[in-house]
Structure 1
Amino acid sequence: MKIELLTIGKNNFPFIEEGIQFYSLRINKYINFSIRYLPESKKLFNMPAGERQRREDEIFLREIKPGTFLILLDERGQQKTSLEFASFMQQLMNRGYRHIVFLMGGAYGVGEKIKQQAHEKLSLSRFTFPHELARLIFAEQLYRAFTLLKGEPYHHE
């Protein structure tokens, strides 16, 4: 199984990139994990939010292969505890999905096409985070999920 975080834009803060790399290396001890940063087009910066979402949806949809299990990371998605997220990941592995993509939209989120194609919608928190920080939080939670599944001493109740 391959798990991928698909996102638009790069990380502008070296300390966040270091944190993401820290967790990515550890996640890869359990499962094939990668992050794909799609380039952010400067042409989209001055567009109205709806048009920008539509254009970014097109970019994302070109990158999502048929048969991919798509999970949208969205502030309006379902919230899970760390234990519930670990259980969710176990269920996905049990179902035999070969490729799981967690998609994090741009600054204005995603449009209706992505929302309709997503198999699941998850929220990292009710707080609003900069995208760079949300990527780091996601990587940490994915690592935490796998340590929970393996019974390793990382998570404390």
Structure 2
Amino acid sequence: MKIDIITVGKLKEKYFVEAVKEYQKRLSAFCKLNIIEVPDKAAPQQSSQKEQEEIKNNEGEKILTKINPQSYVIALEIKGEMLSSEKLAKKLDQLAVTGSSYITFIIGGSLGLSQQVLKKAQLKLSFSPMTFPHQLMRVILLEQVYRAFKINKGEPYHK
């Protein structure tokens, strides 16, 4: 299986960088993982709705150029479908069995994802109704993907 994670912005804190490296190492036994960072654009503190949409659209255009046309696209979206770890594992397993062995996860910037990116996604996935910093979300996503592979292998990581 090949997994791309397209994310807006770079990791800044060393502890996030180290956590991502650890999960990349762990996941190398299960898949070919590629993390693609697209530049973020800072939103002014008092930006208007129009300015925010422009920023999301700009980031969205960059994201869309990085999506492989053969991949199954999963956008992380606060209003998306919530799955348990076991259901995410089952979803990834079903995708592999049905020939969708190329998956792209998308993590937006601080303002979320543009409508164009959300329309491209076959699944909109929510981890919680809470908002998480996108740097932390990268670590959470990697942990859950790793957990899914362990569940699917019947290994005891998920409890």
Q: TM-score, normalised by structure 1?
A: 0.92
Match of 1:50 among 45, 48, 53: 53
Match of 1:59 among 55, 59, 62: 62
Alignment partner, residue 30 of structure 1:
30
Aligned mates of 1:6, 1:87 — CA distance in 2 = 22
User: Alignment identity in percent?
Assistant: 35
1:114 aligns with 2:112: no
> Any conservation in 1 of the 2:43–2:52 contact (CA below 8 Å)?
no
Aligned length: 154
Aligned mates of 2:130, 2:20 — CA distance in 1 = 20
1:38: Cα distance to partner?
A: 1.5
Following TM superposition, the consecutive aligned residue runs of length 4 or more in structure 1 with deviations greater than 3 angstroms are 44-47
Matches within 5 A, 1:6-155: 6-41=6-41, 45-46=43-44, 48-155=51-158
Aligned mates of 1:39, 1:111 — CA distance in 2 = 15
Between 136-145 and 93-102, report the one with greater CA deviation: 93-102
Aligned mates of 1:112, 1:122 — CA distance in 2 = 15
Aligned mates of 1:82, 1:32 — CA distance in 2 = 20
Unaligned runs of 5+ in 1: none
Q: Deviations over 1:29-88 (max 9, x none)?
A: 0111121111224xx534611111111111111111222211101111100111111101
Secondary structure class of the residue paired with 1:19: helix
Counterpart code for 2:5 = L
1:153: Cα distance to partner?
A: 1.6
